[in-house]
């Protein structure tokens, strides 16, 4: 295995040394350059050609971390992991929407956290090194290899209440910036999104998507009754399950049960909760993400309910093809399509023109 070449960008000399020590605990990771500001980073990017960059989101100087990230993506697109301190949630969400691969919390010096952050940092660098940065591989006119024939308006004639469900992980915040604004006002189903993300960050994600979209987007809360046409983001740090109340409405139930697939919220946990709800139809979309979360939940739901239409994002538009690939391998997916066609494909299942 070739060494993975990393560049660290941080205005703190102490943090540069700390991150370098953490990264090089993995014998296959090598820090080839460090930079103290944006100008230094762009010069060394051209000189050293790193495989992965770690970038302080609150970088001081004439360019903050977001500005440096955008320049990196413009001049030499490179997988970039943002390093965020406390209170940087909004900036992290903006960075992820601007092409950052992922983010980690800045080490806070607590011994109990150092080992966890070191392991997380090394893992994300290895994952980032395996990805290819695409400028915008998600336009509606792109076709997908092995695309599956779409069923036309399969759910519109059933007469059942419905739910739209979207599961995603790495690359999800940017993907959702295309899918959610593409949803039409007045869809005859609520939309629940499970995005792998820690607590605090999902509220910022919901707020950002709400500003970008015509549909209402909010972070779900315990006991909330879902309304048709609204989008709900599962809160970070909690598993989200849905149950049906006495009026046949879907209600949110949150728990801090142990992580599943190492994550909380888990797509599988949410999907498995739907298995007890009868006489309801579903559109399920599995988008970009690391791992296989969502595959078993989708397979179980499809086998126990004939009224499920499943979509998986095509390989060429994914930041990471893991979750869609695992879903496709269950042979329960009805349509594989690039990201730019996901919103259209969801809406077409209801033969719905909405606000057009």
Residues with a catalytic annotation lie at 169, 196, 293
Residues 6+ apart with CB under 8 A from 200: 89, 236
Strands 250-255 and 239-244: antiparallel
The sign one gets for the Cα dihedral 326, 328, 331, 333 is: positive
Give the separation between CA 351 and CA 179, rounded to whole angstroms: 18
Size of the chain in residues: 356
Torsion angle, alpha carbons of 260, 264, 266, 271, to 10: 110
Q: How many CA atoms lie within 13 A of 236 on its CB side?
A: 15
The answer to whether 128 and 99 have CB atoms below 8 angstroms apart is: no
């Amino acid at each position: 295995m070739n060494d993975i070449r990393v560049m660290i960008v941080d205005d703190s000399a102490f943090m540069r040394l700390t991150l370098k020590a953490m990264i090089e605990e993995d014998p296959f990771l090598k820090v080839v350059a460090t930079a103290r500001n944006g100008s230094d980073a762009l010069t060394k990017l051209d000189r050293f050609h790193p495989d992965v960059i770690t970038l302080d989101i609150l970088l001081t100087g004439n360019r903050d971390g977001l500005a440096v990230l955008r320049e990196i993506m413009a001049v030499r697109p490179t997988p970039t992991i943002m390093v965020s301190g406390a209170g940087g949630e909004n900036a992290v969400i903006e960075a992820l929407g601007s092409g950052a691969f992922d983010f980690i919390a800045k080490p806070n010096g607590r011994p109990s956290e150092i080992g966890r952050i070191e392991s997380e940092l090394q893992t994300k660098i290895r994952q980032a090194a395996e990805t290819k940065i695409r400028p915008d591989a998600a336009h509606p006119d792109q076709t997908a290899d092995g695309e599956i024939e779409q069923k036309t308006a399969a759910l519109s004639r059933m007469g059942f209440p419905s739910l739209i469900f979207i599961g995603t992980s790495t690359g999800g915040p940017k993907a959702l910036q295309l899918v959610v604004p593409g949803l039409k006002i007045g869809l005859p189903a609520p939309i629940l999104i499970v995005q792998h993300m820690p607590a605090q960050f999902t509220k910022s994600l919901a707020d950002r998507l709400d500003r970008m979209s015509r549909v209402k987007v909010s972070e779900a809360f315990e006991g909330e009754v879902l309304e048709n046409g609204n989008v709900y983001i599962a809160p970070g740090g909690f598993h989200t399950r849905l149950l049906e109340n006495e009026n046949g409405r879907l209600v949110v139930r949150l728990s801090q049960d142990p992580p599943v697939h190492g994550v909380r919220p888990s797509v599988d946990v949410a999907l498995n909760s739907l298995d007890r709800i009868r006489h309801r139809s579903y559109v399920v979309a599995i988008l970009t993400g690391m791992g296989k979360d969502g595959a078993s939940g989708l397979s179980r739901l499809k086998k126990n309910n004939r009224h499920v239409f499943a979509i998986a994002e095509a390989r060429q538009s994914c930041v990471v093809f893991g979750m869609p690939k695992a879903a496709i391998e269950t042979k329960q997916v009805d349509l594989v399509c690039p990201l730019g066609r996901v919103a259209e494909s969801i809406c077409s299942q209801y033969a719905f023109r909405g606000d057009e």
